[in-house]
Amino acid sequence: MKTNYVRTVLICAFSATVTSCSHAPSVEIVGSFFPIWMVCLTIAVILTFFAHKALVRLKLDTEVGPVALFYPSMVVSFSCLLWLTLFR
């Protein structure tokens, strides 16, 4: 009988620690709520596109190193900077 009580207490304690956030960070766009990370990621991809165009125009696109690493890391950097500056 005591083991059932201990198990019940442990399950309740564990479930209380793994509950989700009480407020999900989201923004309303045209009546729908989108997660902020999705908005930051979309803006970051657009900014990376324009950065790529600027690098091509300045003929610096050959100097960036491995393209498969450079542009995704630029998207992550833009996304984190946007989230930190606009939504934190």
Residues with Cβ within 8 Å of residue 15, at least 6 apart in sequence: none
pLDDT of 68: 92
**Model pTM score:** 0.67
Q: Assign 7 a pLDDT band (cuts: 50, 70, 90).
A: confident
Among all chains, which residue has been given the structure tokens 């900077």?
Answer: 81
Cα–Cα nearest to 21, from 1, 3, 37, 9: 37
pLDDT of 33: 77
Asked if 26 and 36 touch (Cβ cutoff 8 Å), the reply is yes
Burial label, 70 (beta-carbon count in 10 A; 0-12, 13-18, 19+): middle
pLDDT single digits (tens) 29-86: 777 777 888 889 999 999 999 999 999 999 998 898 899 999 999 999 999 999 889 8
Residue 77, token pair as written in the block: 């950097």
Side chain identity, residue 68:
A
Higher pLDDT, 3 or 40: 40
